[in-house]
Structure 1
Amino acid sequence: MRVLIPSPLRSYTQKEVVEATGGTLAEVLADLDRQFPGIRFRIVDEQDRMRPHIRFFVNGEQEFDLERPLQPTDALDIVQALSGG
């Protein structure tokens, strides 16, 4: 499936859009980490929870469940909020 990578994480992928496989959101993140070591830890914490500044959108709809079933034709957008002072 097509995965949109936010600009703060593109140092891992060197691309804005990559391809990944998996039957659930968690499996897609594992595939991303296989291809781009270290990226998953920037997205999901040690307790397998989405980090507070990360949002997932599957086919344009926000998703919070890492066990959500996905289809190969789905599109995943990973969005990272920026903060500063």
Structure 2
Amino acid sequence: MRVVVPGQLYSYTGGQSQLAAEGATLGEVLADLDRRYPGLRFRVVDEHGAIRPHVRFFVNREPALALSCPLAAGDELVVVGALSGG
């Protein structure tokens, strides 16, 4: 499946904004990505296995609210990170 990542994660992906990944759930896809892009998963999932509050996932434009969310090979996963500043 195609995974679109925000600019905040480019340092983990070598500057790539779109990645290919495999997995039957959101959690499996993130594990697959982390094998190829170490550290990426920890930027979006905390040490307790919860999605970080500033991150949102969308599968085919629908919110994915849990790591157990099912995915299929042709899906598009978009990762959105909140911006902050002051």
Question: TM over 0.5, yes or no?
Answer: yes
| TM-superposed deviation, 1:59 | 0.2
Among all aligned residue pairs of Structure 1 and Structure 2, give the percentage whose two residues are the same amino acid: 56
Gaps of 5+ in 2: none
Q: Normalization by structure 2: what TM-score? A: 0.96
2:18 matched to which residue of 1? 17
Gaps of 5+ in 1: none
Partner amino acid, structure 1, of 2:58: F
2:63 matched to which residue of 1? 62
Partner amino acid, structure 1, of 2:5: I
Distance (Å, rounded) in 2 between the aligned partners of 1:82 and 1:7: 10
Partner amino acid, structure 1, of 2:68: E
Q: Normalization by structure 1: what TM-score? A: 0.97
| TM-superposed deviation, 1:68 | 1.1
